[in-house]
Structure 1
Amino acid sequence: MNYRPLGRTGWNVSDISFGAWAVGGTWGPVEDEESLKAMHRAVDLGVNFFDTADVYGDGRSERLIRRLRAERSEEIHVATKAGRRLNPHAAEGYTRENLEAFIDRSRENLGVDTLDLLQLHCPPNPVYYEPDVFGALDDFVSAGKIRYWGVSVEKVEEAIKATDNPNCQSVQIIFNIFRQRPADLFFDLALVRQVGVIARIPLSSGMLTGKLRPDSRFDADDHRTFNREGAAFDKGETFSGVPYQAGLEAVEELRQLIPSGMTMGQFALRWVLMSDAVTCAIPGGKRVDQVEQNCAASDFDRIPVEVMAAVREIYNERIRPLVHDRW
């Protein structure tokens, strides 16, 4: 496992880390004991950074991480998120009082006095233009309720605006072979401002594992069934916003580029890590074998320049017209 600095926190985190959305819910059936085995295996393999949110299973994911920490002696950094508990999820709900209530609930779920990293959870666009929201986060740092704060965003422009705030330590953003715009517009700025970049959905909801087929079916409670058109949250969170059949066709072209010894998923993760601005990718893992395959991507050699160029060509031809200017 390799490690990279996260913003200006002083933390060096595993470049393949653990996204804990799936162990909370909305990815089909999941059993807590199996999830814990997968999480323990991640730590065994050097993972020291877990990303979660208060809405993943209504706190289930946070509570699983609390159990994991209690059973391990290693230092484990945890990032959680706040804001999506608002109903409706509207900018005016991002008040000091609401954020503090969410933070206190996450502190209880995680069993800590101070949250390591608190991220606003893809807030509506107007929130990024409200200095009082970020001032409140600074105050929660001063009060000892959170150690650092960052943002999870949908759009590149939101990432840029968020980092205008000098105390923003991290930006979580969708970045994968099917969502390349952050590298064009944001990553150079992130390096200059020393802001950590957490790449979420690096496998495009499983599409970039190469295991999905035209006849693949997903459970009713899996967002890959109910959110393809954005019925529950932003459409871009499911298959990166790429229509299912278009994704399958692009994967078949990408498959021809995979170096010997790599799986499709490992190739996709290694592609994400080719960007120096990326601190870590956070693939999910509900089973031990998934975690093992994901973590192995950290130690592969760099992808050759000509292969990177070929990936970009497939993106430009097949995927760019569908997603590039939307997010």
Structure 2
Amino acid sequence: MNPMPHRHLAGLKAQVSAIGAGCWTIGGPATNRGTPIGWDGVDPDTAFGGLVRAIERGVTLYDTADVYGLGHSERLLGKLLRVAARHDLTISSKVGYFAGTARHAYHPLQMRAQLATTLDNLGTDHLDIYFLHSSDFGPHDRYLPDAVDLMRTWRTEGVIRAVGMRAPHRFAEEWAVTDGPQAAETRRWLHLFDQVRPDVLTARYNLLSPLYADHETDIFRFAHRHGVGVLIKQVLGQGLLLHAETSANQRQYSAGDHRSTDPAFTPDNRRQLHARLAPLRVRYGPSPTAMARLCVQYALHHAPDAAVLVGFRNASQIDTIIASLDHPLQADDITQIRAVLHASPHTY
């Protein structure tokens, strides 16, 4: 068992564990203004055991949000911080998505209230990264200037060390000057990036992420050019990439589980995904452990300057993810994966 590797996270200017604990899952089921945003089947004690195991296995990066379980995830992580050395850890949370009051999520009063609640939930006096969780800044971006000013003020005061921002799921900088379907979204995001000037981005990347042509600047190349760090999320496809499709896992989800309304979790879509991944299961093994190794190593190989956030429910899942670090993929593995899943680079 090799020691946990670390990566230098640009923007934060700090070393973090290559694997970070993504704490969305452990928030449990929840709804945000009627929209399901949580996860079923989470036992708090078992989830806390996963956090403890992560510390034991060398994980130093923990990502949560005020809206994950409507504070439950933050409070579980806060329980860990009471028994762990805070200065050894990188803790990130988020603001801007919670819709629990009449005020807009980015109204200055609401942002101050949410930050105070987050710090109280975590039992800490600062965050290492504070993410703007949503790109909705009100009509005509009414709350954008105040939100940016607050984040910069908190960074200057040391209440946060770095400002974070979400990247689009699909992004090439060059799309902004085309008339393609992603042009407007790309221009909008580049405008927000220019206004916010974040230190760290979160970006979705996994086996199914599109490939880009050589002339296209994807989010990782873009971030590197701007000196911005990247945390990779959804490397396991929210668990869909791990498990072979069977009648046993065609389960029903509660009204507080986001999978109850996510089209990716319908039986038809899961069957299609199973067929698409079948050649990889034959080559690398059908078990969740084998697929976890494939998912994690694929992301780490693609972005050597980024850290990977992985969701979990218990200590066993933490062990499975970290065990994958002992078996890196080779160049021919990457070629094989892309040949199976992507016929050609994805362009618009």
Shorter-chain TM range is 0.7 to 0.9
Q: In structure 2, do the counterparts of structure 1 residues 2 and 36 end up closer, same or farther at CA, with 3 Å as the change threshold?
A: same
Q: Does the Cα contact within 8 Å between 2:252 and 2:260 map onto a contact in 1?
A: no
Partner of 2:300: 273
Partner of 2:92: 79
Partner of 1:232: none
Deviations 1:50-71 (A, max 9, x none): 0101011111110111110111
Partner of 2:128: 116
- Cα distance, 1:161 vs structure 2: 4.6
Partner of 1:27: 39
3-state SS of the aligned residue for 2:149? helix
Partner of 1:100: 112
Partner of 2:69: 57
Partner of 1:309: 335
Structure 2 gaps of 5+ residues are: 29-37, 172-185
Deviations 1:196-218 (A, max 9, x none): 11111110011111344355114
Q: In structure 2, do the counterparts of structure 1 residues 112 and 127 end up closer, same or farther at CA, with 3 Å as the change threshold?
A: farther
Q: Does the Cα contact within 8 Å between 1:28 and 1:218 map onto a contact in 2?
A: no
Q: In structure 2, do the counterparts of structure 1 residues 269 and 102 end up closer, same or farther at CA, with 3 Å as the change threshold?
A: same
Q: Does the Cα contact within 8 Å between 2:148 and 2:196 map onto a contact in 1?
A: no
Partner of 1:41: 53
- Cα distance, 1:250 vs structure 2: 1.5
Which residue among 145, 148, 156 is the counterpart of 2:162?
148
Q: Which moved more, 1:157-166 or 1:173-182?
A: 157-166
Partner of 1:6: 9
- Cα distance, 1:118 vs structure 2: 0.6
**Distance across 1 between alignment mates of 2:6 and 2:252:** 34
Q: Does the Cα contact within 8 Å between 1:197 and 1:277 map onto a contact in 2?
A: no
Q: Aligned residues, how many?
A: 310
3-state SS of the aligned residue for 1:281? strand
Which residue among 184, 198, 203 is the counterpart of 2:231?
198
Which residue among 190, 204, 211 is the counterpart of 1:174?
204
Is 2:249 the counterpart of 1:219? no
Q: TM-score, normalised by structure 2?
A: 0.78
- Cα distance, 1:28 vs structure 2: 1.2
**Distance across 1 between alignment mates of 2:102 and 2:232:** 23
**Distance across 1 between alignment mates of 2:17 and 2:92:** 13
Q: TM-score, normalised by structure 1?
A: 0.83
Deviations 1:263-319 (A, max 9, x none): 111111110101235521111111111100111222322x2222212222333249x
Q: Does the Cα contact within 8 Å between 1:83 and 1:89 map onto a contact in 2?
A: no
Matches within 5 A, 1:117-136: 117-124=129-136, 130-136=144-150
Q: Does the Cα contact within 8 Å between 2:285 and 2:291 map onto a contact in 1?
A: no
**Distance across 2 between alignment mates of 1:228 and 1:5:** 34
Q: In structure 2, do the counterparts of structure 1 residues 15 and 222 end up closer, same or farther at CA, with 3 Å as the change threshold?
A: farther
- Identity, % of aligned positions: 22
- Cα distance, 1:149 vs structure 2: 1.1
- Cα distance, 1:186 vs structure 2: 1.5
1:252 partner amino acid:
A
Partner of 1:234: none
3-state SS of the aligned residue for 1:202? coil
3-state SS of the aligned residue for 1:61? helix
Deviations 1:134-181 (A, max 9, x none): 232112222333221111244433665554357411111211111235
**Distance across 2 between alignment mates of 1:122 and 1:154:** 11
Partner of 2:311: 284
2:94 partner amino acid:
K
1:269 partner amino acid:
V
Matches within 5 A, 1:228-243: 228-229=262-263, 243=269
- The structure with the largest alpha-carbon Rg is 2
1:205 partner amino acid:
Q
- Cα distance, 1:128 vs structure 2: 11
3-state SS of the aligned residue for 1:209? coil
